[in-house]
Structure 1
Amino acid sequence: MTNHLKSVILTVILLAGIPSTDALPQDSQYFLHTVTQGQGLYSISRMYGVSEEDIIKANPGSETVIRIGEELRIPRSQKIKFHTIEKGETLYRLSVENNVSVKEIMDANPGLSAENFKIGQVITIPAPTGSDPLTATIETAGQELPEEIAKATESLTTDDAPYKTIHPVKRRETIYRISRAYGISEEEFLQANPKYRNSRLRNGDEVIIPFSAQELAEREKERMQAEITLESIADSTLFMLHDLKKRHEPGTVNAALILPLSLSDSSSVEQMMMVEFCQGVFLGIEKLKNENISVNLKIIDSGTPKTTRTSSVFSGIEDADLVIFGSKESDQIATASTWSTENGIPLVLPLNTNADFVFTNPHVFQLNTPQSYIYQEVYNHFFRVFDRPKIFMIDAGDNSQKEFMAGFRQAANERNIPFETILLNSIHEDISRSKYKDSEDENFKQIDEKIMELLSLDRQNIFIINSKESAPLASFLPVLQLISRNKQEGMETYLFGYPEYQTYAVDHLDEMYEVDTWFYSWFYTNNMLRESVDFGASFRRAFSRQMMISYPSYASYGFDTSYYFLKGISLYGDEFENNLHAIQTNPVQMGFKFERVNNWGGFINRKVFFIHLSNQYKVEKIDFDQ
C-alpha cells in the first residue's frame, strides 16, 4: 500500500470524530427485528439463538399472531452481537464504531449488499480483532482507494496542519505588516502568537501564521464534503472491494457427494432411496458432460453418526467447490455445517428435515424448506389463482395442519375474504351409511342441501380439509362429488389440498378430477411430460431397471439437485450465490427458488408449484416464476 494511501486512511480515522468503542446499542437488553414473509417464532428464535418463550415475553401477543412488517423486540445474546441498522448509519461508520474492518462485517453477513443496507436490516457484528478497520479492509482486498475517493480526501492529508505556515521575522517587520501580507487580522496573529502582546518582534524570530476565519470556514467545508464522500464508501466502493478476491473461477467443478450408503439393512427402502439419489446425480453429471461441463465428483459413504462426528468423511475434500450432504442425522449435519463454515464451502442439504443450520450458516442450501416459508408462498399463489374465493375449511378433527390453516385464515381475513368452517364429523356417519352410487340417497340429499345453502354463485367456492391424511379426503370426496353434480349452472367449486394428494391420486384419481382438485407441492412429476419420459428412459438404459415408486422420486431428486448446483458453479464460479435466479434448468421434478433467510444465514428453497387436476380431465403444473 502506498504511503499516500496509508496517510489518507489514517487521517480519515482521526478526522471522522468517531471513538473506537462498541457502538451504543439500540437498547441495553433488546434489538429490533422486522418480520418478513414466512417467518414465525420458531425461525426467528433459531436465527438469534434465543428461546421462543423469551421472544413472547418481550412481545406480548406474539404467541397468537405475528404479521409481516411487525417489529419484534429480540433479547440480546451474550454470544453474538446483533445490530439493527438505524437512520444515517453506513457500513464505514459501523466498522469504525465497532473497531472491526468492513471486510469482517461483510464476511459475517454475506447477504448484505449496497442494495439492502437500509434501516431495519439486522446484521451480526463480529468481535474486534484489533486491526485498523479501513486499512485492514483495503489491504485484504489488495486495492487502493478509487481515484475519485482519494481525490476527494486529498485535502485531509495535505491540509491537516493547525496553522498555515511558520514565518521568519525580518528586520523592521511589524505585526501589522506581516498580518497584511498573509491576509489575517492582527488579533488573529496575536491569538496564534500570544507572547507578542507584551513584547516586540525581533529579527530572526519564527512566528505562527494561522488560517484566516474565511480560510477556516473553507477548510471546514472541504472536510465535511470529504467525510460525506467517505461515508458513500459503505454503499458502493467497499462492497465492490469486498468481492474482488476469488477462490474459484468458472470452469471444472470439484464436488463431493456424501450419502449414508451402508445402512444396516442394505435391502431397506431407505437404502434403495439413497442408491437412487446417487444414480440420479450420475445422470445429472452425464447431462452436464454432454454440455461440455467438466465435473470431478468424489462419492463418500457417511456411515453412522458416530463415524461422521470425527469429521473423517471430510478429509481430502477441502478443495471442493460444493458438497451435497444427504444425511438426515442431526449430529452428522452439525458436523457438516461446522466443516462448511470453517472452509467456506457451499453445503447442499437435500434430505434433512431439521432446518436449524440454515439460520446461522451462510453456506447452507436447505432444500427441505421450513414449512412457515412454504406456507407464505402458498397463500400468495392461492390468491393469485383465485381472485374471488370463498373458503370452506373442512374440520376433520386433526390438528396436524393447524399452523397452515391458521395462516390461511389470517391471510383471508387480511383480504376480507369469507372463511367458514364445516365439521366433517357431523357428516361422517351419514357418509358411511349411504350408498354412494345411489344418487337418490336421502343422507346425501340432506348433506347436499346443508352445504349448498352456504355456497356463493358470485365467488369461487373452495374446500380445504384441515388434514393431509388420506382418510378425511376419502370421506369428503363423495360429498364434494355430489355438490359438483348438483350445483347451479355457472357456480364454481374446487378442492384445494396438500403435496400428499399426488400419492392419493393413485386411488382417487377419477374423483379428484371430477371435483376439480388443486394442490400445492415443491415437487411433482407427470409421467406424460417429455422431460419425465426422457429421464425414465435414461435411467433404464443406465441401470437396467425401472425407478422405484416414491414421492418424491429420489432418482429425479438427485438429478435435479446435481444438475442445478453443478451447472451454476460451472457457469458463475464464486459468483454462483449472486446468480441463483439466472441458472436455467428444465427440472424433472424439483424447482429451485433460493433466498437467504437473513444476512448471516444460508438459503432456503421457496419454490412451490400448483397442480390442477381439472374437471376436463387434464393435468396442469403451474410454475409461478416462469
Structure 2
Amino acid sequence: MKYFFAIWIPVLLFANVVFSQEMITHKVERGETITEIAKKYQVTPYDIYKLNPDAQDRLKPRMKLLIPSKSGLKVTTNQSQITHKVLPKETLYGIEKKYNVSDADLKKANPFLETDGLQIGQILTIPGKKAAANQEKVIYHDVKPKETKYSIAKKYGITIAELERKNPEIIPNLTIGYHLLIKGNPSKNESALQKEAAPASVKKYNTYQVKPKETLYSLSKMFDLSQEELIKLNPELKNGVEIGMLLKVPATTSFPAIQENKVYADLTPKNTDGGRKRIALLLPFNVSNLEDDAVNPVSERLKKDKFLNMTLDFYAGALMAIDSAKTLGLPIDVSIFDSEETKYNSNAASIINANKLQTADALIGPFYQNNAEATARLLTSYNVPVISPLSKDAGNSIANLYQTVPSNEILRTAMFDFMRSKRGNIVAVVDKKKSSMIQYLSQSQPDVKLVPLNANGNVSAESLKSMLVTGRMNYVLMETASIWMVKTTITAMLSAMPNYQVQLVVLETNDAMDSDEINFSNLVKLKLMYPSVTRDNNSPERVAFENKFRKLNSVSPSDYATRGFDVTFDTMMRLLQNKSFEDTVNTTATEQFENKFEYYKKDGLGYANRGVYILYYDSDLTEKVAN
C-alpha cells in the first residue's frame, strides 16, 4: 500500500530540565506518535522529549514515558523586572498578554526582537512588572458565536486545561455568552457576579434548510454545536444528512454564507502589469555542517542523512518548476538560500534582512513548522506570503502563513465527509488499545457505532452483521495494529458480502496492513479506501515530467521531488494572476501532478490546505480516486 506523505525529522538532543511539578506515566501503544500523546495530555512534544530523551530515537510499544502535568516555566525575579525563557509554540502576543506588557515596551526592553524575531530559548526581559502572582490582573472574556475553547485559549496565551480549570462549568460544553475567567483570582463578589452572568440554556430555536454539499461536520461547526448535540435536536440526522432537510437550530445563531467547495482550475499566466515577480526559496541544505564534518565525507552523509536527501529531492523538483517558468518566458526571478535549520532555529531573519526579502512577492520555506511560523511573523506587516512546503503540523494561525500539507485532522474529516456524502452507514472496528481513536470517535464522530469485540479482542461475523444495514453502503472503519485483528475483520466482512454492501476503510496505513499474512486480493475485494495527500498520476504531462527528471538526475522523482515541483509551480502561477496571492487562494483551487491546493482560512488568520484525495483499491489492482 502507498504510504501517506510523511515528514522525516532528524533527532535533536535536549538539555535536562528539572520541573517542580507532578508527573504522569504513559505506556506507549503500538502506532502511537509523540504528537498524539502530547495532544492527549495537552503538552507539547518538546515537553515530553525533555523528560524522556530516549523517546527521540524511537517510540517503542510498552515504553513508559514521563508526562508533565503542566508545562514547566522558570522565571527569575529582579526587583522591578522579570525574565522569561521562550518555550516552543509561544508567541509574542501570548507573552505580552501573560505579563500584561505592550508590544512596544517588550521590544524596547529586547531590541533583538526587531531584527531576529522571537526564537526558542531566548531570555526576554519583562519591563516594569513585578512577579507576584497575587498581583495578576483579573481578565474575563464573554464567549461569542463560533468561538471555541481552542481559539479562546490561544487568544490569551493559555492552554485549554488552564481555561477549564478556571471555568469547570465549560468542561462538557462551551456556551455562547458565557462569562469566562481568563486570568487572575477574582474576589468573592466578582465570583458571584460571574456566576450570575452565565446564561441560561438556549430554549428558542429557528428552522434551517440543509443546502447541497453540507455535512454533519460542517453543520455542527456552523451552529457551534457538537455533532451529538445537533443529532439530539434532530434525531433524523442519525440516518445521514440530506439536501432540503429542515433542522431545528438555536435561535441565537446567525446563518453565515456557506463556503462552497472552490472550483478547481488550471491557472495560466495573466501578468499584464509589466512587472517581474520575486520568489525566494529557503531550503535547509545546512552546508556549514557538511563542511565542518571532517569524519564523514559528503558522499557518506548523503547515504545516511534522510533529511538532507529529502531537501535535495525537493530542490531538484523546484528547479524543474523554475526551468519550466524560464522556458515559458514568465517574468519571475527566483533566489535560493540555505536556511541552515534545526527544528527550532534557522537563519531566516538574517537572510530576510540581508536580501531585503520584505519586498519579495512570496517565500517558500523554511521546512520546519516553528521556523516557517517565525519567518511569517517577521513578514506579517509586509504581507509577504510564506508558504510552508512540507510540515503537516496544525501549527499556529498567522495571517500570511500558508500550510500546503493537509493535517491529519483534515485527512480524517475528509474521509468522514466523503462517507456521509454517500449516505453510508459507518461502523468502526477499533482495537481496545487504540484509546485515542475511541476518544476521537466519541467526541468528534458520535454517530459512528463501535462494533462489539469478543473476549479475545477481535470481531466476529455475527457482531459485525448486527451493525450493518441493507440498501446502503456499509463503511467499516478499521483501526488496529494487530495482524490477527485485521484478518478476522476481513473474514467477517467477506462473509457479509452476499447480503450487504460493505467497504473497508482505514484512516492511515500501518505495518499490519502491509504484512505478507494479509491477502492483497481480499483488500481489493473489499475496495480498501483511505484518505491521502497525494495520488498516482499517469497523465502524459506527468510521464513527460518523470522522463525529464530521470534524464537530469539519473533517478525517478520521489514524492518529495514531485512536491517540490508542485508547490513551486503552483506558487508561481498564483503570483501571475493580476491579483494578490491571497485573492487567488480565496477564489481558486488547483491540482498539480500529485498534489491538490484547496486553501481555506483557519481561525480567522492564515490558510491551511484541505486538498485531499480519497483513494481506493480497484478490481484492476490499481489505486483510483473515489468520486
| TM-score of Structure 1 vs Structure 2, range by shorter chain | 0.5 to 0.7
Which of 423, 442, 453 lines up with 1:423 in the alignment? 453
Matched, 1:542 2:581: no
Q: State the distance in 1 between where 2:183 and 2:567 align.
A: 36
Q: Which amino acid aligns with 2:160?
A: E
- Tell me which residue corresponds to 1:568: 574
Q: State the distance in 1 between where 2:178 and 2:623 align.
A: 43
Instruction: Give the aligned CA root-mean-square deviation in angstroms.
Output: 3.7
Q: Which amino acid aligns with 1:544?
A: S
CA displacement 1:121-160 (0-9 Å, x = unmatched) = 9xxxxxxxxxxxxxxxxxxxxxxxxxxxxxxxxxxxxxxx
Matched, 1:476 2:485: yes
CA displacement 1:224-261 (0-9 Å, x = unmatched) = xxxxxxxxxxxxxxxxxxxxxxxx96853210110111
CA displacement 1:261-285 (0-9 Å, x = unmatched) = 1266444111111111111111222
Q: Which amino acid aligns with 1:493?
A: V
Q: Is the contact between residue 589 and residue 597 of structure 2 (CA under 8 Å) also seen in structure 1?
A: no
- Tell me which residue corresponds to 2:389: 350
Q: State the distance in 2 between where 1:377 and 1:585 align.
A: 17
| Aligned CA distance change for structure 1 residues 282 and 536 (closer, same or farther; 3 Å) | same
Matched, 1:337 2:376: yes
SS at match of 2:358: coil
Which of 397, 400, 416 lines up with 2:433 in the alignment? 397
Number of residue-to-residue matches in the alignment? 388
| Aligned CA distance change for structure 1 residues 617 and 547 (closer, same or farther; 3 Å) | closer
- Tell me which residue corresponds to 1:32: 143
Which of 487, 501, 516 lines up with 2:496 in the alignment? 487
Which of 279, 296, 312 lines up with 2:350 in the alignment? 312
Q: State the distance in 1 between where 2:358 and 2:621 align.
A: 52
CA displacement 1:87-120 (0-9 Å, x = unmatched) = xxxxxxxxxxxxxxxxxxxxxxxxxxxxxxxx99
SS at match of 1:49: coil
Q: Which amino acid aligns with 1:540?
A: R
Q: Which amino acid aligns with 2:608?
A: I
Using the TM superposition, give the Cα deviation of residue 335 of structure 1 relative to its aligned residue in structure 2, in angstroms. 3.4
SS at match of 2:576: helix
- Tell me which residue corresponds to 2:364: 324
| Aligned CA distance change for structure 1 residues 584 and 344 (closer, same or farther; 3 Å) | closer
Q: Which amino acid aligns with 2:441?
A: M
Q: Which has the higher helix share?
A: 1
Using the TM superposition, give the Cα deviation of residue 606 of structure 1 relative to its aligned residue in structure 2, in angstroms. 1.8
Matched, 1:496 2:505: yes
- Relative to the length of structure 2, the TM-score reads 0.54
Which of 451, 458, 465 lines up with 1:452 in the alignment? 465
Matched, 1:256 2:261: no
| Aligned CA distance change for structure 1 residues 61 and 259 (closer, same or farther; 3 Å) | farther
After TM superposition, the structure 1 = structure 2 runs for residues 135-284 of structure 1, keeping only pairs within 5 Å, are: 251-262=275-286, 265-267=301-303, 268-284=305-321
- Relative to the length of structure 1, the TM-score reads 0.54
Q: State the distance in 2 between where 1:345 and 1:404 align.
A: 36
Matched, 1:555 2:556: no
CA displacement 1:551-590 (0-9 Å, x = unmatched) = xx111111111111111011134x2212225446441222
Q: State the distance in 2 between where 1:49 and 1:364 align.
A: 19
Determine which structure has more spread, i.e. the larger CA radius of gyration: 1
- Tell me which residue corresponds to 2:527: 516
Q: State the distance in 2 between where 1:71 and 1:378 align.
A: 33
- Tell me which residue corresponds to 1:234: none
| Aligned CA distance change for structure 1 residues 542 and 379 (closer, same or farther; 3 Å) | same
Q: Is the contact between residue 392 and residue 405 of structure 2 (CA under 8 Å) also seen in structure 1?
A: yes
- Tell me which residue corresponds to 2:81: none
SS at match of 1:336: helix
Unaligned runs of 5+ in 2: 1-137, 185-221, 225-271, 291-300
Q: Is the contact between residue 250 and residue 572 of structure 1 (CA under 8 Å) also seen in structure 2?
A: no
Q: Which amino acid aligns with 1:510?
A: S
| Aligned CA distance change for structure 1 residues 588 and 570 (closer, same or farther; 3 Å) | same
Q: Is the contact between residue 424 and residue 475 of structure 2 (CA under 8 Å) also seen in structure 1?
A: no
| Aligned CA distance change for structure 1 residues 313 and 543 (closer, same or farther; 3 Å) | same
Q: State the distance in 1 between where 2:345 and 2:473 align.
A: 55
Amino-acid identity (%): 16
Q: Is the contact between residue 534 and residue 612 of structure 2 (CA under 8 Å) also seen in structure 1?
A: no
Q: State the distance in 2 between where 1:53 and 1:453 align.
A: 39
Q: Is the contact between residue 46 and residue 356 of structure 1 (CA under 8 Å) also seen in structure 2?
A: no
Matched, 1:52 2:52: no
Q: State the distance in 1 between where 2:540 and 2:508 align.
A: 22
Q: Is the contact between residue 340 and residue 347 of structure 2 (CA under 8 Å) also seen in structure 1?
A: no
After TM superposition, the structure 1 = structure 2 runs for residues 105-120 of structure 1, keeping only pairs within 5 Å, are: none
